[in-house]
């Protein structure tokens, strides 16, 4: 059994998060290049060549050339098996993006050096913080004009409320970008502009007193570097591995993914600083993958109808402990049934591959005959426990929907219930009314398009959709509160979710605070309990 622990100890499973266009895809491609998975850069997502990413199964994705779903990529490097959970790069990301973070042990945040922290990064970051997972920062595009380094670090600390510790420090930016200074080895890694797609550029490291620096750096650049380093050493947070692992300190790296500069340095440090797969809370307390020998996994995403001809569903699971073997019998905790885990697949950059085995830390896709829900636990048949569920994330867009043809009410209800059960949308009803009014809530507006498309294509139902002005939702934590007497704001609506839990919708953020003020003892939460 020690073998299993040895294998698991080499797994590193992380999600890459960023605002669209910061360079997440480019960085992923370069990482895969080091893992020998991609022969050339540009294969993960080819915008111009219409070469679609792994996850672009659905027609709607193809039509728009964007990726709606998240995919998983695996490669090995330096004895480690690295699982990258990619997240949709489009502005209109979905709840899947959030859920993906629940399956990762740490996150890599890519920031555009000319822009600093942007909206989408902030949202995703909140989920990372909720989970206390380590967050690594890669500040990208130093080959373009960048913001001041101190300002960038300040921006992260202020906006995200997390201390930072730069591992290296950039020298200039844009045309004056000369490389990065490693604060630990005190060597300058000289910027070499590799051609797009080449694996290793010229790697040159120079000491601060190296004569070559005279010709390499522009006038004043060395003095500026020394000054900045002195300032940072004096005022910045010192490196503390425990704080990094507790998700309290983000190590920061500078580079340029496009020119493949700083990527390998980042990868190597990252692998050293991260831990093996983390323990997870269950109905039997913490399950530590380095102690628990039994197989266990939880479902974090369900992808329906990847192959239209078969109407198939794939349940993506994060293996938390033990070993998985294709076709094995296991226990589906929520379904209270023995299941055979068949057709296991793993994502390898361009295609789905059938796999025979996997272990804690890995992500697999299992054929789902329609029995799994997001958050379900699968365990060894003789070791039954349930992992803590995945919270429901706050939708930010709402619409009232109904079927265009009243005769199709049954199909319509079946469709939206199934799609909601997969976790592709959230549905709500007005309090104290029947099922007539259906309100759909989504994290990204694209999910509404996907809903309309799927109802038409899979259930043959056209819908009429009316956008609602709400932008903010809060779950009521203390359910004993008398809803009829709850005094809210004019823009507030009371609804309930599928499980009958009461919620409040608001058109304005500030109404949340006002409602709390007006109702003594009312506790509102941004995430729904699983």
Provide the binding-site residues for ligand G4P, judged by CB under 6 A. 18, 20-26, 47, 89, 140-141, 143-144, 256-258
- 89 vs 415, beta carbon nearer ligand G4P: 89
- 109 vs 452, beta carbon nearer ligand G4P: 109
Cα R_g (the chain), whole angstroms: 24
- 21 vs 157, beta carbon nearer ligand G4P: 21
- 53 vs 476, beta carbon nearer ligand G4P: 53
- 53 vs 512, beta carbon nearer ligand G4P: 53
- 191 vs 331, beta carbon nearer ligand G4P: 191
Vertex 226 angle, CA 222 and 230, to 5°: 170
Closest CB 25 distance from ligand G4P, rounded Å: 3
Locate 488 and state its tokens: 């809210």
Closest CB 331 distance from ligand G4P, rounded Å: 39
Integer Cα distance of 181 and 226 in angstroms: 10
Closest CB 446 distance from ligand G4P, rounded Å: 15
Closest CB 222 distance from ligand G4P, rounded Å: 24
Closest CB 190 distance from ligand G4P, rounded Å: 16
Closest CB 253 distance from ligand G4P, rounded Å: 12
- 22 vs 399, beta carbon nearer ligand G4P: 22
Closest CB 464 distance from ligand G4P, rounded Å: 33
DSSP designation for 117: S
Integer Cα distance of 147 and 160 in angstroms: 17
- Whether 491 and 514 have beta carbons less than 8 Å apart is answered as no
Integer Cα distance of 181 and 456 in angstroms: 56
Pairing of strands 163-166, 168-171: unpaired
Closest CB 12 distance from ligand G4P, rounded Å: 21
Locate 373 and state its tokens: 């829900």
- Whether 519 and 487 have beta carbons less than 8 Å apart is answered as yes
Integer Cα distance of 87 and 99 in angstroms: 10
Closest CB 401 distance from ligand G4P, rounded Å: 30
Cβ-defined contacts of 407-413 (< 8 Å, 24+): 408/460, 408/461, 411/459, 411/460, 411/461, 412/455, 412/459, 412/461, 412/463
- 260 vs 472, beta carbon nearer ligand G4P: 260
Closest CB 450 distance from ligand G4P, rounded Å: 19
Integer Cα distance of 177 and 144 in angstroms: 8
| DSSP per-residue codes, 411-462 | HHHHHHHHHHHHTSSEEEEETTS-SS-EEEEESSTHHHHHHHHHHHHHH---
- 21 vs 526, beta carbon nearer ligand G4P: 21
User: Which residue is listed with tokens 């995945």?
Assistant: 390
- 23 vs 166, beta carbon nearer ligand G4P: 23
Contacts of 45 (CB under 8 A, 6+ apart): 25, 51, 52, 53, 67, 89
DSSP SS3 for 201: coil
Closest CB 268 distance from ligand G4P, rounded Å: 19
* Phi and psi, residue 59, nearest 5°: -50, -45
Name the β-bridge partners of 365.
316, 345
- Whether 15 and 73 have beta carbons less than 8 Å apart is answered as no
């Amino acid at each position: 059994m020690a073998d299993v622990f040895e294998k698991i100890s080499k797994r590193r499973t992380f999600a890459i998060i960023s605002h669209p266009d910061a360079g997440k895809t480019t960085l992923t491609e370069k990482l895969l290049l080091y893992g020998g998975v991609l022969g050339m850069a540009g294969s993960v997502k080819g915008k111009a060549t219409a070469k679609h990413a792994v996850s672009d199964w659905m027609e709607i994705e193809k039509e728009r050339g964007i990726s709606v779903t998240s995919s998983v990529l695996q490669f090995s490097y330096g004895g480690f098996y690295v699982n990258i959970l990619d997240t949709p790069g489009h502005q209109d990301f979905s709840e899947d993006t959030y859920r993906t973070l629940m399956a990762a042990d740490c996150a890599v945040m890519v920031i555009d050096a000319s822009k600093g922290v942007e909206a989408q990064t902030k949202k995703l970051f909140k989920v990372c913080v909720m989970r206390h997972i380590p967050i690594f920062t890669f500040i990208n595009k130093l080959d373009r004009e960048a913001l001041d380094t101190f300002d960038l670090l300040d921006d992260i600390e202020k906006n995200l409320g997390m201390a930072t510790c730069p591992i290296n420090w950039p020298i200039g930016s844009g045309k004056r970008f000369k490389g990065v200074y490693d604060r630990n080895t005190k060597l300058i890694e000289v910027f070499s502009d590799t051609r797009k797609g080449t694996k290793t550029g010229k790697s040159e490291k120079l000491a601060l007193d190296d004569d070559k620096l005279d010709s390499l750096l522009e006038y004043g650049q060395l003095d500026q570097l020394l000054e900045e380093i002195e300032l940072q050493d004096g005022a910045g947070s010192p490196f503390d591995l425990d704080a990094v692992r507790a998700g309290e300190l983000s190590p920061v790296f500078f580079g340029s993914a496009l020119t493949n500069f700083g990527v390998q340095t980042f990868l190597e440090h990252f692998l050293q600083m991260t831990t093996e797969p983390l323990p997870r809370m269950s109905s039997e307390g913490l399950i530590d993958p380095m102690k628990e020998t039994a197989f266990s996994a939880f479902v974090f995403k369900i992808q329906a109808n990847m192959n239209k001809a078969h109407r198939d569903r794939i349940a993506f699971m994060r293996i938390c402990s033990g070993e998985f073997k294709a076709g094995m019998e296991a226990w589906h905790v929520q379904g209270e049934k023995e299941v055979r885990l068949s057709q296991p697949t793993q994502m390898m950059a361009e295609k789905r591959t059938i796999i025979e085995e996997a272990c804690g830390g890995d992500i697999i896709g299992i054929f789902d005959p329609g029995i799994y829900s997001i958050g379900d636990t699968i365990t060894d048949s003789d070791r039954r426990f349930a992992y803590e569920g995945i919270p429901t994330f706050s939708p930010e867009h709402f619409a009232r929907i109904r079927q265009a043809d009243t005769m199709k009410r049954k199909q319509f209800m079946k469709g939206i219930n199934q799609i909601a059960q997969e976790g592709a949308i959230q549905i709500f009803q007005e309090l104290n009314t029947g099922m007539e009014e259906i309100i759909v809530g989504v994290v990204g507006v694209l999910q509404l398009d996907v809903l309309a498309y799927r109802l038409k294509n899979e259930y043959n139902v056209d819908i009429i959709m009316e956008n609602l002005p709400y932008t903010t939702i809060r779950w009521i934590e203390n359910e004993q509160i008398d809803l009829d007497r709850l005094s809210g704001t004019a823009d507030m609506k009371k609804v309930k979710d599928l499980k009958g839990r009461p919620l409040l919708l608001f058109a304005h953020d500030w109404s949340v605070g006002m409602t709390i003020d007006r109702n003594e003892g009312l506790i509102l939460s941004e995430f729904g309990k699983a």
